[in-house]
Amino acid sequence: MQEKVKDAPGSEFTWVGTRPVRPDGVDKVTGRARFGADMAMQGQLVGKVLRSPHPHARIRAIDTSAAEKLPGVKAVVTREDFQDQPSEFIPAGEMMINYRDVVRNVMAREKALYEGHAVAAVAATSAAIAKQALKLIKVDYEVLPHVIDVVEAMQPGAPLLHEDMITAGVEPAPKTPSNVAKRIEFGAGDVEAGFKQADVIVERAFTTKPVHQGYIEPHACVASVSEDGQADVWVTTQGHWIVRAHCARLLGWDVGKIRVTSSEIGGGFGGKTVVYLEPLALALAKKSRRPVKMVMTREEVFRASGPTSGAHVRVKIGARKDGRIVAAEAELKYQAGAFAGSPVQPGAMCAYAPYDLENVKVVGYDVVTNRPKVAAYRAPGGPISEFAVESALDELAGKLGMDPIEFRLKNAAKQGTKAAYGPKFGPIGLVETLEAAKSHAHWRTPLGKNQGRGLACGFWFNIGGETSVSLSLNEDGTLSLTAGTPDIGGLRASLCMMAAEELSIPMDKIRVQIGDTGQLGYNFLTGGSRATFSSGMATVEAAREVMKEACKRAAKLWELPEDAVEYKDGAVRPAGPNAGKHAPMSLKEIAGIAGKTGGPIAGYARINAHGAAPSFATHIADVEVDPETGKVTVVRYTAIQDAGRAIHPSYVEGQYQGGVAQGIGWALNEEYIYGADGKLQNPGFLDYRVPVASDLPMIDTVIVEVPNPRHPYGVRGVGETPICPPMAALANAVAAATGVRFTDLPMSPPKVLKALDEARAKGTARL
């Protein structure tokens, strides 16, 4: 099980860069691994949620008396059970949150703001009774006009979701409320002057639809509250410290009274960074004095958890004949769902990040609509703005008669480039990915009939943040590693590999687990591509602490000064000939003397991980378009990305491939479809069409390694960036195949055929 497959013979590392079997692997292929819904507590009740059938309605009254009287019903909660929260935006990773809104999202207060908005919850002795109880709850709704589309929501006279919402970021502040929560703007130079220098300008408007993370495991939790107020929650989440913080705040309980354990998590992609069921389960558990288990149905996941924004984006880019971009602007209107807080800010920052631009201006709007509140989704905001920019760049390259790679190379950000969003880049790998694309066989392979090739670049910042890790030396010399960032896709393997590398010991001497909130200091969540970076950094620090302590103990035994002892090749030994002759002591031997030399040995790292570095990508896509049905098939795909350093290359490749697959779904078929009644028409995997195995080709990957100097192993995050290029890569490929530029996602067959027919009528179609 510990077979090492070395990618690079002669590598300076023993473990880093190899492909061992992941430590949690056997449990996951045998069905033993326990996910959110796999937990049962003694005497647990079943919790279910009553959801609004209306996209927008004032809640005049809720009568739960009949439900409460139903035998088997043990508790009912509504808005009455949650204290109101003051308005205050606080950073929550890549997104901001406001507890005034969070409390309203988990349980509607004055109004139901989207179809599926939670209105009440019950706990009963069986699912059937809980379901029956929901039917007995009478909600008196005053149905209000709704607005679903982002552009319509910005119009004067649109139905207002929040009657007191005054657009932030506008001076002077508007006098009247609107659905625009915020306006942002940033830039550099003078775009007006820049456009005057341009020989060619492309200006285009793009639209994207909300898409869902589509994790296969629905939200699930089990909560228990003892008579003295000590609470336990088992939950599938990307961040159990975040769950604890939110629940404590919403319920008014002490943080320390709540212990949250993260289950194995069946996919998150940003969607499991917020709370939905957990505060309800805790409230029901407290009221009923019984554990309460809640699991969303797939339909609830689609209707009531957060997809990412749909958006309207306008970009304008100008370049000189020599291919240098002289000005670029973008206007982004992102739909936030029912409450403020779309990812328009990161979207705006990502838009032009890959390019070295003197004159750039980006304006963004955060707009509320009667849809579920958006949540983070893989590089939140980035894929939308990058789709627009990378599409426009492709068109611009075409107009200039330039190769799309050469055009991008001419404008690519490099070390020292000041990014449009502010910072100066350190060592980055965009140029390297473009060069790798240029020399890749894919780029030169001839295309077949009705086929086209497209290329696009991608960017994501990556983040660090608060992280704790402990590493204990056990009495037999083995080690126990505890991290606090949930492992969604191989984190335990990479942490174990970094620890083994530091300690120069076999990987199977370390058992790694994800600890609960009582076992470690604070951990920010797994997201933003921070887990391998931050927990890796903390793991290395903890391992170094163990080695240092081991040296100290041997020094004590050998009666040497501490600096006369060193840790090398898995053992403590005298540092040089002057330190005397002592046989090296293995960790096992050190563990044996731990008791008499000062007690247990452990490393404990508590850091705020800084130095996260961005990851750039270049993707190449080949598509084939059926001229008679408009169906687009991806026939070949290559994803090239800078990983900094790939700790476990298989899982880095897997991140690239998974991001590409999601991007292909976003590009071709995935969308939230609403009727005129404001209700979601496709809340299931039948009509919310994620790619299936037969839809995709093999996805070729190239890992470029430009190490991040601020991480002990050079790690950059890798998970977010790969979802950014596919939409533009595919749109560019479709344009190459058909002669038609698609600006509205998804490029579903009816849309493609219609546009092809129109282009044929005008004589502009290529097929």
Q: What are 640's strand-pairing partners?
A: 618, 702
Site for other proteins in 242-271 (CB under 8 A): 264-269
On whether the CB atoms of residues 85 and 41 are closer than 8 A, the answer is no
Task: Examine residue 685 and tell whether it contacts other proteins (CB under 8 A).
Answer: yes
Residue 696 Cβ, how far from other proteins at the closest point, in Å?
6
Site for other proteins in 194-223 (CB under 8 A): 213-218
Residue 444 Cβ, how far from other proteins at the closest point, in Å?
22
Nearer to other proteins, 32 or 320 (CB): 32
On whether the CB atoms of residues 368 and 709 are closer than 8 A, the answer is no
Report the distance separating Cα 450 and Cα 650, nearest Å: 33
List phi, psi (to 5°) of 628.
Answer: -95, -20
Task: Examine residue 690 and tell whether it contacts other proteins (CB under 8 A).
Answer: yes
| Among 17, 187, 372, 489, interactor with other proteins by CB under 8 A | 489
Nearer to other proteins, 20 or 484 (CB): 20
Site for other proteins in 29-88 (CB under 8 A): 29-35, 37-38, 40
Report the distance separating Cα 653 and Cα 656, nearest Å: 5
SS3 at position 364: strand
Task: Examine residue 629 and tell whether it contacts other proteins (CB under 8 A).
Answer: yes
Nearer to other proteins, 369 or 494 (CB): 494
Q: How many residues bind other proteins (CB under 8 A)?
A: 77
Q: What are 625's strand-pairing partners?
A: 632
Contact string (CB under 8 A) for other proteins, positions 525-564, x = contact? ----------------------------------------
Site for other proteins in 662-681 (CB under 8 A): 662, 668-669, 673, 681
Q: Encoding tokens for residue 303?
A: 């209707």
Nearer to other proteins, 492 or 509 (CB): 492
Task: Examine residue 754 and tell whether it contacts other proteins (CB under 8 A).
Answer: yes
Contact partners, residue 645, CB within 8 Å, separation at least 6: 16, 17, 705, 707, 708, 711, 713, 714, 715, 716
Task: Examine residue 116 and tell whether it contacts other proteins (CB under 8 A).
Answer: no
DSSP codes, 574-628: ESSGGG-----EEHHHHHHHTGGGTS--EEEEEEEE-----EEEEEEEEEEE-TT
Residue 661 Cβ, how far from other proteins at the closest point, in Å?
3
| Among 7, 8, 11, 28, interactor with other proteins by CB under 8 A | 28
List phi, psi (to 5°) of 531.
Answer: -65, -50
Task: Examine residue 650 and tell whether it contacts other proteins (CB under 8 A).
Answer: yes
Residue 318 Cβ, how far from other proteins at the closest point, in Å?
36
Report the distance separating Cα 264 and Cα 469, nearest Å: 18
User: HSE of 609 in the Cβ direction (CA atoms, 13 Å)?
Assistant: 37
Residue 654 Cβ, how far from other proteins at the closest point, in Å?
6
Report the distance separating Cα 135 and Cα 158, nearest Å: 33
Site for other proteins in 126-185 (CB under 8 A): 128
Site for other proteins in 697-716 (CB under 8 A): 698-699
Residue 223 Cβ, how far from other proteins at the closest point, in Å?
18
Site for other proteins in 4-23 (CB under 8 A): 19, 21-22
Residue 443 Cβ, how far from other proteins at the closest point, in Å?
20
| Among 661, 729, 731, 737, interactor with other proteins by CB under 8 A | 661
| Among 15, 17, 18, 24, interactor with other proteins by CB under 8 A | 24
Task: Examine residue 660 and tell whether it contacts other proteins (CB under 8 A).
Answer: yes
